[in-house]
Amino acid sequence: MGWIGRMGWTGRMGWTGRIVIVVALICLGCNRQPSPPASTMPAHQDFEKLTDDFTRGVLALSPASATQAGYHVHNGMALDEAIDDFSPAGIDAQRRFYQDTQKRLAALDVASLDRGQQADLEILRNNVGGALLELDTIQSYRHNPTVYVELAGNALYTPFVLNYAPLDARFRHIIRRLEKIPALVDQAKANLVDAPEVWNRVAREENDGNIGLIDHTLRQAAPDALKSSYDAAAGPALAALKDLNAFLAGPLSKKTSDWRLGKENYARKFAYVLATDATPGQLLADAERELQATRMEMATLAAPRTVKQALDEIASRHATPDTYMAEARQTLEQATMFVREKQLVTLPPRSNLQVIDTPEFMRGIYGVGGFNSAPPLQPELGAFYWITPIPKTWPKARIESKLREYNEFGSQELTIHEAMPGHYVQQEWANEVQPTSRRVLRSVFANTPYVEGWGMYAQQLMSDEGYLNSSKGLRLTWLKQKLRGLANTILDVRLQTMGMTDQQALDLMINDTFQEREEATAKLQRAQLSSCQLPTYYAGLRGWLRAREQYKQSKGSAFTLRDFHDRALKESGVPLPELEKLLR
C-alpha cells in the first residue's frame, strides 16, 4: 500500500508511523485555551484529548501530509499553503513535540483505560518511539535525498488530484507551495551530509518526475486566471529542483554511505513498526521454514509438471503495454462482483475508487502499483488505485519480463491486494471509525502489519473461496505471491543486518521464489530504499490468520467469514495482538 493519502509507508518514507518524516515550525498552542490539568479530567476525556493533540499536532508539523489527510487549517494557519520545514528550528520543534507527547503518555493511568484505549496507547507509543529513533539516531533527513524529493512531489500533486476545494483555490495552494520549493531545496542541501548511491540515484530519477509535473502537467492544467501567477512561481521552483539534481549528481555523489541500518538500529525500529512478539531473528527463521513448506505445496499442485514449467505457462498469458491499464480495471470489476456474491465482507457504501497511473515522482518505490486512500478527515473524497505504466522506452526483454510477472493472474493478485477486497475496502472501513481522533490515529498512524497483512490475507481468502472458478493458475500465483512475502522478510533482515549481497538476494528471488528478473531487480532496489516494511507482509498475514482462528473458536457454529471481517475491519489499524484482544 502507499500513500500519498495514507502517508504511506512504503517503508523508507519514514516515520511518524505512516507519515513522511517532515517538520514545520508551527505554534501548536496558539489561540488555544489552556487544558485542565490531567488529574481534573475524567481519564477517558484526558486520553481522547491526548490522542487528538497528537494526531492534529503531527499533521500540523507536516502541512503536505495534512492536506493528504484532509486537515486544512490548524490554529488559524492555512496548512494547504505551507510546506514542511527542515530548518534546524523546524527539526527541533518536531523533536520537542514528540518528547512532550512521550511525557504525557508516561503520566497516564493505564489501568483506567478501556480495551480500545489501550490499543490506541500502543499505537501512540510505537509512533512516538519510532519518531524519536528517527530524529535522534537514524536521521534520514541527513542521508536520504528522496525525503525532500517525495515531499515536494506530494505537496504539489495532492492538491492537484484531491478535490477538497474548487480548482482555482487548489491551484492557489499549489502556487504558494511552489514559492516555497527554493527554501526546501536550500534546506536539503544544508542537511544532506552523505547518501547511499541508490538513494541518490532514485532521488534524481524521481525529481525528474517533479520537474515534469511542474513544467508540464500542472502548467497545462492551471486555470487561465492564474497562469501568470503559476508561471512566476514555477520558474524559481524549477530552477531550484534542477539545482538539487546538480547537487546530488555532483558534490553529494562523492559522499556515499551505507543504506543498511545495522543490527541494533534495525531491531529497535522493527519493534516499533511491527509491534509483534517476534524478534527479527525469530521472524526470519519462521519465514525460511515456511518458504520451504510453500515450495513443496506448489510442487504438489503443479505435478506432473515442475513448478517452473507451470509458472512459465501462466506467465505467457499476459497483456500488452497498451492493454495493461484496461485489464487492471477489468480485474477490479471481476473481484468486486465475486466479493459481493460470496458476501465475504460488507462493501463500502461509497463508490470513490479511481484507477490511475502512478505519479512519476513515486515510481522509484512503486514500480508496480499501490493504493492511495481517501483522506480520513474527508472520506467522501476520492481514493486511487495506482498502476505503474510500462515505459515504451524499455528494451523488449525488460517489457516482457514485467508483463510475465504481472500476467493475467498476477494482475488479479495485485488488484485483490491493493483494492478489492484489500486496501481499498480496508481503508473505507477505517474512515468510518469514531470518534474522529481514533479514526485519524488508527488510519494515518496505523500498524503496518495490520494493513499489509490484510492485503496478503485477502489474496489467500479469494483463492480459498474459489475465485475464478477455483483456478489452479490463480492458486499457484497466490502461492508464488506468498513466497514473495516470505522472501520480503528474509531479504529485509538479511540485507539490513547480516551482510547479504545483491547477488544472494537476486538468487533467492529468482531461483527460490520464482520471480522474474525485472521484478527481482526492482524488489532489490526497494529493499535498499526501505527498512522494516518488507517483513510486515508475512508478519501481518500470519497475524490475521491467527486472529481469525481465535475468533472462529470463540464463535463456534455461529462463525461466518463476513462477521469476522466486518468486526476486525471495524477496529481499523491496531497492532494485531491488540486486535485479538478487541475481538474477544
Domain boundaries defined on the chain: 144-256
- pLDDT tens readout for residues 504-545: 999 999 999 999 898 899 999 999 999 999 999 999 999 999
- pLDDT tens readout for residues 189-226: 999 999 999 999 999 999 999 999 999 999 999 999 99
Task: Report the alpha-carbon distance of residue 349 to residue 359 in Å, rounded.
Answer: 27
C-alpha cell at 489: 522478510
* Mean pLDDT in residue range 3-22: 31
C-alpha cell at 185: 531545496
Listing DSSP states for 115-131 in one string gives HHHHHHHHHHHHHHHHH
Is the model's pLDDT at 171 over the cut of 90?
A: yes
Is the model's pLDDT at 40 over the cut of 80?
A: no
Global pTM? 0.90
- pLDDT tens readout for residues 258-294: 999 999 999 999 999 999 989 999 999 999 999 999 9
DSSP state of 110: G
CB-based contact 576:544 (threshold 8 Å): yes
Q: How confident is the model at residue 29 (pLDDT cuts 50, 70, 90)?
A: very low
Q: What's the number of CA atoms in the CB half-sphere (13 Å) around residue 364?
A: 27
Q: How confident is the model at residue 372 (pLDDT cuts 50, 70, 90)?
A: confident
Least confident range from 126-140, 294-308, 370-384: namely: 370-384
Contacts of 150 (CB under 8 A, 6+ apart): 13, 20, 206, 361, 362
Q: How confident is the model at residue 3 (pLDDT cuts 50, 70, 90)?
A: very low
Task: Report the alpha-carbon distance of residue 34 to residue 247 in Å, rounded.
Answer: 46
